[in-house]
Amino acid sequence: MTSSANDVDSARDELVAALQWQIDVGADEAIGDRPVDRFAIAAAKKAAAAPPQTLSAPATPTPPPAVMPTVPLASQDAVAANARTMAGSAADLAALRTSLETFDGCALKTTATNLVFGAGQVTAQVMLVGEAPGRDEDREGKPFVGVSGQLLDIMLSYVGLSRDENIYITNILPWRPPGNRQPTDAEIAACLPFLARHIALVAPKILIFLGGTSAKTLLGRREGITRLRGQWYEYNSPELENAGIAPIPAMATLHPAYLLRQPAQKRAAWRDLLSVRQRLDTLTK
């Protein structure tokens, strides 16, 4: 084969591998809530650049914006206040789930197939918080059942943790963002009171934040996960205080979906899990 045929083959292999990776992590839809008509955008740009033909030429229609509509802050506050009331009145996890099912303050509910509430042992000493359901989780209504969840299960098993025995797991958001896009601040703020109550009801002895969205949200920090990971923090919230629960030790670590893309980083995640194991052992002695 000639070198240019080889180049074409390897470029194609790289593209196929990149596509396969997208499928593996659950990116099965175009990102964005609305379809973007790129032909219309190109036509609009061309028309804007061209000199006007006649003064009465019809205007080219403007394509719809491809960005998420922003929610006014006042109405975000009202949504969060309503969420706090609804979540705060849930006496147990079953009531909290029912309350979330009736909550209309987060539009992700309308595009998701299922509510993904939580899984594992409700009496667990260790509670993990991921980011948001992906395609598989949305389909099954359970957190971390796709490829990244499988990696997570394997890693946890090496430190004696499993959702069948001694952990509980949930996410920052209970509904899948379309196309696995990054959750918006408004979506997170709307759902956060439910998560805060969720944590207070499980009352774990240790929290593990999986990935940047989880760590930044629950620690109120702005740094990225590579800076935040590997350290112990104390998670606190008005919901914990109202329930008379002391701040909970929390470890931030890398998200398993990131580890699938950057396997060399598994080493760091192992260190974090070993630190969790050691701390847990001091609790159970």
Contact residues for ligand URA, defined by CB under 6 A: 130-134, 137, 143-144, 146, 148-149, 171, 257
Residue number with CB closer to ligand URA (105 or 149): 149
Residue number with CB closer to ligand URA (9 or 29): 29
Residue number with CB closer to ligand URA (171 or 253): 171
Residue number with CB closer to ligand URA (103 or 144): 144
Q: Report the candidate in 190, 219, 201, 206 with the shortest Cα–Cα distance to residue 250.
A: 206
Shortest separation between residue 39's beta carbon and ligand URA, angstroms? 34
How far is it, in rounded angstroms, from Cα 281 to Cα 285? 6
Shortest separation between residue 237's beta carbon and ligand URA, angstroms? 20
Residue number with CB closer to ligand URA (86 or 210): 210
Closest CB to ligand URA: residue number? 130
Residue number with CB closer to ligand URA (88 or 144): 144
Shortest separation between residue 260's beta carbon and ligand URA, angstroms? 11
Shortest separation between residue 89's beta carbon and ligand URA, angstroms? 26
Shortest separation between residue 116's beta carbon and ligand URA, angstroms? 6
How far is it, in rounded angstroms, from Cα 253 to Cα 276? 10
Can you say how many angstroms the Cα of residue 279 is from the centroid of all Cα atoms in its chain?
A: 26
Angle at the Cα of 11 (from 8 to 12), degrees rounded to 5?
A: 85
Scanning 89-203, the segments in alpha helix (DSSP H) are 93-102, 108-111, 135-140, 147-157, 185-202
Residue number with CB closer to ligand URA (88 or 149): 149
In DSSP notation, 112-125 reads: -SS----EE-TT-S
Which contiguous run of DSSP H or E holds residue 221? none
DSSP state of 180: G
Q: Is 105 exposed, middle or buried (0-12, 13-18, 19+ CB in 10 A)?
A: buried
Shortest separation between residue 171's beta carbon and ligand URA, angstroms? 5
Copy the structure tokens of residue 116. Answer: 């993904």
Which contiguous run of DSSP H or E holds residue 249? strand 248-253
Shortest separation between residue 267's beta carbon and ligand URA, angstroms? 21
